[in-house]
Structure 1
Amino acid sequence: MKAYQDINSDSGVSAYEYGDDWIKVQFKHGGIYEYRASKIGSAHISTMKRLANSGDGLNAYIITNPDVRDGWSSKS
């Protein structure tokens, strides 16, 4: 996984990795969540990838979008 930049030092996200139609997000206080386009839609996946790469806003995006927050496919 790639370390999340967290440019404002205010995120609950610590790392991420992604493929064509999925993204995995590791949170500082609990687990790695996988999100899939088949469950939450490709628009959400694209936005999450963009935010992950920018190092800002990924945690806020996840917690403020119920479809994303509750739409993870697996947790480890």
Structure 2
Amino acid sequence: MQRYANRSGESGVVAYALGKDSITVKFIGGGRYEYTEDSAGVEHIARMRELAANGRGLSTYISQHVRDRYARKLD
């Protein structure tokens, strides 16, 4: 996993990993969730990838737009 830049200093996201059609997000509590194009939608995965690369807004985006639309919890 790649460390999330957390440019705001207040994110609940600590790391992420990109897959072919997915993004796995690790949160402060240690939980890792895999979001896929099938579970969350192509547009959401594209936006989450962009936010992850920018290091800002990923946690907020997930809570406002994706919520529990993850494919699976890994931890």
CA offsets 1:33-68 (integer angstroms, 9 cap, x no match): 000101111100000000000000000000011xx1
* 2:52 partner SS: helix
Tell me how far 1:23 sits from its aligned partner: 0.4
Q: Which residue of 1 aligns with 2:68?
A: 70
Counterpart-to-counterpart distance in 2, 1:70 and 1:3: 22
Corresponding pairs, count = 74
Residue 30 of structure 1, CA deviation: 3.6
Q: How does 1:1-76 map to 2 (within 5 A)?
A: 1-65=1-65, 68-75=66-73, 76=75
Give aligned-pair identity as a percent: 43
Regions of 4+ moved over 4 Å: none
Secondary structure of residue in 2 paired with 1:5: coil
TM-score w.r.t. length of structure 2: 0.94
CA distance, structure 2, for counterparts of residue 46 and residue 4 of structure 1: 16
Give structure 2 stretches of 5+ with no counterpart. none
Q: How large is the RMSD of aligned CA atoms in angstroms? A: 0.8
What TM-score comes out, normalization by structure 1 length? 0.93
* Deviation sequence 1:8-48 (CA, Å, 0-9, x none): 10100000001121000000014000001011111000000
Using the alignment, how far apart are the partners of 2:48 and 2:59 within structure 1?
9
